[in-house]
Amino acid sequence: MQTRRKSSNVLLNTALQEFYGAADEMGLNERLISILSHSERMMQVSIPVEMDDGSVEVFDGYRVQHSTALGPSKGGIRYDPGVDMDECEALAMLMTWKCSLAGIPYGGGKGGICCDPLTMSRREKERLTRTYAARIEPILGRWSDVPAPDMNTGGQEMVWILDTVSKMRGKLEPAILTGKPVSYWGSMGRNEATGRGVATCGLELMRVLDKNPGSMTAAVQGFGNVGSFTAKTLNDAGVRIVAISDITGSYYSAGGIDIHRAFDTVRANPKKLLEGFEKTGNCEKIDDVLFAECDFLFPCARDGVINSETAGKIRARYIVEGANGPTTPEGEAVLDDAGVMVVPDFLANSGGVIGSYFEWAQNLQGAFWTEEEYNNKLVHIMKGNFRRVWDYSEAKNIKMRRAATMAAIQRVADVSEMRGLFL
């Protein structure tokens, strides 16, 4: 047996150990294990930016392509002080399994810039984004690497990247990234896709467990793009949302959070935060949304939040992961002992990448769908994917995460074996 990788980075080590565990259980050969435990390409770039005060700061940027066995690598670009190569590699690996499980023709990629966007002006962020785009331009392409928004990025950043690359190449390249505004080669329904998909998995779990959504309570960690639309979709289905949160704190109401008012609060805040919501939302602040009294918990913020220290304090009986890697192996062991069921991230939050695939396909064709068509296709695929993993886990008597991982790895492994090594 060849030496197996370990990492001091929690998220990367979690991704590697989950892969190794599933691969061993599947009986995958060591040749394929060695290939799939490493990324195909990892790029680090320096990004000099002239700040508004005339000074120059140099930021570190990254782009990782874990696998292109199934198609062009796909994955978001995030701006956050915690971004580094290990985080990007872990998330790129998770994207490989997510795309495989979703049945779409993509491999896994991820990128980002180590910065604090909340302290930067719009002009500073534009300079940062355009320089990053120019530095990673050689590996971007509609058939090679197709980025998308992620933490602290959105449609505006995608427009800057598209404009920069298109000008460098002398032609418009709309299919090189997704998550663009509807007014500029974007797709109706894309912004809500990840949250809608997370909520759909939660509702499907209720259905297979024969639970009425109208009698269920839920807490949602994070009220960004994923968490907010997860909460809204659940709320519209009759689930009572008792707690929500963002970086300003956790907000709780036993009678149910007014989700529409929460959206109004975020829209009115210059930084799109829930700050002050306890004063207008008829709710109270609590220590941590993770520990709220509820039936279902939807962690839709950061990785590693459910760990050996926090897992034992969780009161929910069911967890649907909206964020990437929110549960560590140590945390999951605690949840297993407590009988808490977990729907894994790369199944639950795959609505975003499925929606990206829809946008990419429309861009390649130059033909666009209605929002109703988009949403119907998305929900149909999410329900089918959930049911396939649920049935597999029931048949094999294994946890849903292991079932999803094994199914995803098998598809990539089969294609990698068919294609062979290019020497």
Query: Where in the sequence numbering do the catalytic residues fall?
Result: 110
CA quadruple 396, 400, 401, 406: dihedral sign: positive
- Residue 351, C-beta contacts closer than 8 angstroms, at least 6 positions apart: 193, 194, 195, 196, 197, 198, 200, 378, 382
The pair of three-digit structure tokens given for residue 332, joined into one six-digit string: 């999951």
Burial class of residue 2 in the structure, from the number of CB atoms within 10 Å of its CB (0-12 exposed, 13-18 middle, 19+ buried):
exposed
β-strands 240-246, 318-320: how paired?
unpaired
Going across the sheet that includes 41-50, the strands are 41-50, 56-67, 107-114, 73-80, 145-149
Contact at 8 Å (CB) between 250 and 237? Answer: no
For strand 249-252 and strand 284-286, is the pairing parallel, antiparallel, or unpaired? antiparallel
Task: Put the strands of the sheet holding 217-221 in their side by side order.
Answer: 284-286, 249-252, 240-246, 217-221, 296-299, 318-320, 341-343
CA pair distance 10, 53, nearest whole angstrom: 37
The answer to whether 198 touches 221, Cβ cutoff 8 Å, is no
- The dihedral sign for the CA sequence 191, 227, 91, 134: positive
Residues 132, 160: Cα–Cα separation, whole Å: 10
Q: What is the 3-state secondary structure (H, E, C) of 79-136?
A: EECCCCHHHHHHHHHHHHHHHHHHCCCCEEEEEEEECCHHHCCHHHHHHHHHHHHHHH
219 token code pair? 């807490």
* Helix and strand element counts for the chain (H, E): 14, 12
Contact 39, 112 (CB under 8 A): no
Structure tokens at 233: 């979709």
